[in-house]
A and B are shown apart, each in its own frame.
Chain A
Amino acid sequence: MNTATFSIYRGDSNGGKFEDYTTEVSEGMVVLDAVHGIQSAQANDLACRWNCKAGKCGSCSAEINGMPRLMCMTRLNSLPLDKPVTIEPIKAFPHVRDLVTDVSWNFAAKMKIKKFKPRPPDAPDGSWRMAQGDIDRVQEFRKCIECFLCQDVCHVLREHNKHEEFIGPRLLVYTAALEMHPLDTEDRLQDLKDAYGIGYCNITKCCTKVCPEDITITDNAIIPLKERVVDEFYDPLKRALKLLRPKPKPENDHV
Chain B
Amino acid sequence: MADYQTHEHDVLIIGAGGAGLRAAIEASTAGVKVGLICKSLLGKAHTVMAEGGIAAALANVDDRDNWRVHFSDTMRGGQYVNNWRMAEIHAKEAPDRVRELEAWGAVFDRTPDGRILQRNFGGHKYPRLAHVGDRTGLELIRTLQDHGIHQGIDVHMEHTVVTLLKDGERVVGALAYERERGRFKVFKAKAVVLATGGLGRAYKITSNSWEGTGDGVGLGYDAGAELIDMEFVQFHPTGMVWPPSVVGILVTEGVRGEGGILTNNQGKRFMFDSIPDNYKAQTADNAEEGWRYCQGDKNARRPPELLTRDHVARCIVREIKEGRGSPHGGVFLDIAWIKEKIADSAAHIQRKLPSMYHQFKQLADIDITQEPMEVGPTTHYAMGGIRVDADTQMSNVPGLFAAGECAAGINGANRLGGNSLSDIIVFGKRAGEFAAKYVKEHGAGQVNNDQIDEAVRRSLEPFERGATKGGGAEGPYQVQAELQEMMQDLVGIVRTEDEMQRALDGLGKLWERARKVAVYGHREYNPGWHTAIDLHNLMTVSEAITRSAIERKESRGAHFREDYENKDAAFGKVNTVVSKAADGTMQVRRESIPEMPEHLKQVIEEMK
- Residues in A with CB closer than 8 Å to B522 are 45
What CA separation (Å) do A115 and B477 show in the bound complex?
43
How far apart are the CA atoms of A41 and B470 in the complex, in Å? 10
Among residues of A, the one whose C-beta sits closest to the C-beta of B248 is A53
Q: Do A29 and B180 contact each other (CB < 8 Å), given the known contacts A51-B210, A103-B41, A116-B146? A: no
A59 touches B105 (CB 8 A): no
In the docked arrangement, what's the CA distance between A55 and B139, Å?
A: 15
Q: Are B528 and A146 in contact (CB under 8 A)?
A: no
Cβ of A56 within 8 Å of any chain B Cβ, yes or no, is yes
Contacts of A103 in B (CB 8 A): 41
Given A27-B244, A28-B245, A44 and B528 touching (CB < 8 A)? yes
Residue interface mask A65-103, B partner, CB < 8 A = 1: 000000001010000000000000000000011101011
Confirm or deny: B552 has a beta carbon within 8 angstroms of a beta carbon on chain A.
Answer: no
Contact B363 A30 (CB under 8 A): yes
- Please give me the 6 A-B residue pairs with the lowest Cβ-Cβ distance, nearest first: A28-B243, A44-B528, A45-B521, A129-B114, A116-B105, A40-B477
Interface: B103 (CB within 8 A):
yes
Given A47-B526, A104-B157, A132-B110; A139-B132 close (CB under 8 Å) = yes
Q: Which of A58, A127, A145 contacts B102 (CB 8 A)?
A: A127
B364 touches A (CB below 8 Å): yes
Closest to A113 in B: B146
Query: Are A44 and B521 in contact, with the CB atoms below 8 A?
Result: yes
Contacting pair B102 A128 (CB below 8 A): yes
Residue of A nearest to B114 (CB): A129
| CA–CA, A149 and B99, complex, Å | 33
With both beta carbons as reference points, the residue of chain B lying nearest to A50 in the complex is identified as B210
User: Does A28 lie within 8 Å of B244, measured CB to CB?
Assistant: yes
| CA A110 to CA B41, docked complex, whole Å | 14
A3 within 8 A of B: no
Residues of chain B within 8 A of A26, CB atoms compared: 244-245
Can you list, as one digit per residue, whether each of B497-529 has a CB less than 8 Å from chain A (1) or not (0)? Answer: 000000000000000000000011110111111
* Contacts A28-B243, A57-B48; A97 near B132 (Cβ below 8 A): no
Q: Please measure, in the bound complex, the distance between the C-alpha atom of A71 and the C-alpha atom of B498, giving whole angstroms.
A: 42
**With A and B bound together, what is the CA distance between A59 and B40 in angstroms?**
9
A178 to B362, CA, bound (A): 30
Contact A46 B138 (CB under 8 A): no
Q: How far is the CA of A59 from the CA of B469 in the complex (A)?
A: 27
Q: Which residues of B sit under 8 angstroms from A44, Cβ to Cβ? A: 475-477, 519-521, 526-528, 531
CB of A55 within 8 A of CB of B359, answer: yes
- Rounded to whole Å, the gap between the CB of A216 and the closest CB of chain B is 14
Knowing A53-B249, A54-B363, A146-B43, the reply to whether A48 touches B527 (Cβ < 8 A) is: yes
Interface string of B142-156 (1 = CB under 8 A from A): 100011011000010
Whether B44 and A59, one on each chain, are in contact in the complex, defined by CB atoms closer than 8 angstroms, is: yes
Given A50-B210, A52-B49, are A127 and B110 neighbors across the interface (CB < 8 Å)?
no
| Across-interface contacts of A181 in B (CB, < 8 A) | 105, 107
- CB <8 Å contact, B139 and A57: no
Which B114-167 residues have a C-beta within 8 angstroms of A? 114-116, 132-133, 135, 137-139, 142, 146-147, 149-150, 155, 157
User: A12 CA to B524 CA in the complex, in Å?
Assistant: 10
CB contacts under 8 Å to B, within A134-185, are: 135, 138-139, 142-143, 145-146, 174, 178, 181, 184
A125 cross-chain contacts in B, Cβ below 8 A: 99
Chain B residue numbers with a CB within 8 Å of A255 are 114
**A56 to B48, Cβ gap below 8 A?**
yes
A132 vs B108: C-alpha distance in the bound complex, in angstroms?
Answer: 9
Count chain B CB atoms within 10 A of each CB in A50, A127, A128 and give the residue with the most.
A127
A28: chain B residues at CB < 8 Å are 242-246, 363-364
Complex contacts, B244 vs chain A, CB 8 Å = 26-29
Given A49-B40, A115-B150, A146-B43: A97 and B524 interface contact (C-beta under 8 Å): yes
In the complex, what distance in Å separates the CA atom of A98 from the CA atom of B520?
A: 15
Report B-chain residues with C-beta under 8 Å of the C-beta of A118: 103, 105
Q: Which residues of A contact B (CB under 8 A)?
A: 12, 26-30, 33, 39-41, 43-59, 73, 75, 96-98, 100, 102-104, 107, 110-111, 115-116, 118, 121, 125-132, 135, 138-139, 142-143, 145-146, 174, 178, 181, 184, 255
Q: Is the CB of B48 within 8 A of A142?
A: no
Counting CB contacts under 8 A, is B358 at the interface? yes
Q: Which residues of B contact A97 (CB under 8 A)?
A: 180, 524-525
Contact residue among B110, B211, B477 (Cβ-Cβ distance under 8 Å from A131):
B110
Known interface pairs A44-B519, A145-B138. Does A115 touch B146 (Cβ–Cβ under 8 Å)? yes
Q: A51-B211, A54-B49 are in contact. Are A98 and B102 (CB under 8 A)?
A: no
Residues of A within 8 A of B135 (CB): 56, 143
B245 touches A33 (CB 8 A): yes
Which residues 456-478 of B have a CB within 8 angstroms of A?
A: 469, 475-478
Task: Give chain B nearest CB distance to A64 CB in angstroms.
Answer: 14
Q: Which residues of A contact B45 (CB under 8 A)?
A: 51
Report the Cα distance A200→B45, complex, angstroms: 33
Asked if B476 and A56 sit within 8 Å, CB to CB, the answer is no
**Cα-based distance from A146 to B362 in the complex (angstroms):** 19
What are 17 residue pairs bridging A and B, where the CB atoms are less than 8 Å apart in the complex? A27-B243, A28-B244, A44-B476, A44-B520, A51-B46, A51-B209, A53-B246, A57-B44, A97-B525, A107-B157, A116-B146, A118-B105, A126-B99, A130-B114, A132-B110, A143-B354, A184-B105
Is B4 close to A, CB under 8 A?
A: no
B211 cross-chain contacts in A, Cβ below 8 A: 51
Task: Kindly provide the distance from the CB of A130 to the nearest chain B CB, expressed in whole angstroms.
Answer: 5
Task: Report yes or no: A47 in contact with B362, Cβ–Cβ below 8 A.
Answer: no
Residue of A whose beta carbon sits closest to that of B362: A73
Candidates B46, B99, B133; contact of A52 at CB < 8 Å: B46
Determine if A127 and B116 form an interchain contact, defined as CB atoms under 8 angstroms apart.
yes
Q: How far is the CA of A167 from the CA of B149 in the complex (A)?
A: 17
**Which of A41, A110, A138 is close to B107, meaning CB atoms less than 8 Å apart?**
A138
Smallest CB separation, B509 vs chain A (Å): 20
- Note all chain B residues with C-beta closer than 8 A to A50: 209-210
Chain A residues whose CB sits within 8 angstroms of the CB of B40 once the complex forms: 49, 51, 57, 59
A48 CB → nearest B CB, Å: 7
Closest chain B residue to A47 by CB distance?
B525
Chain B min CB distance to A43 (Å)? 8
A196 to B457, CA, bound (A): 47
Q: Are A127 and B524 interface neighbours, CB within 8 A?
A: no
Cβ of B579 within 8 Å of any chain A Cβ, yes or no, is no
Cα distance, A131 to B114, chains bound together (Å): 5
User: How far apart sit A48 and B99, CA to CA, in the bound complex (Å)?
Assistant: 38
Contacts of B478 in A (CB 8 A): 40
B527 pairs with A46, CB closer than 8 A: yes
In the complex, the answer to whether B138 meets A129 with C-beta atoms within 8 Å is no
- Chain A residue numbers with a CB within 8 Å of B550 are none
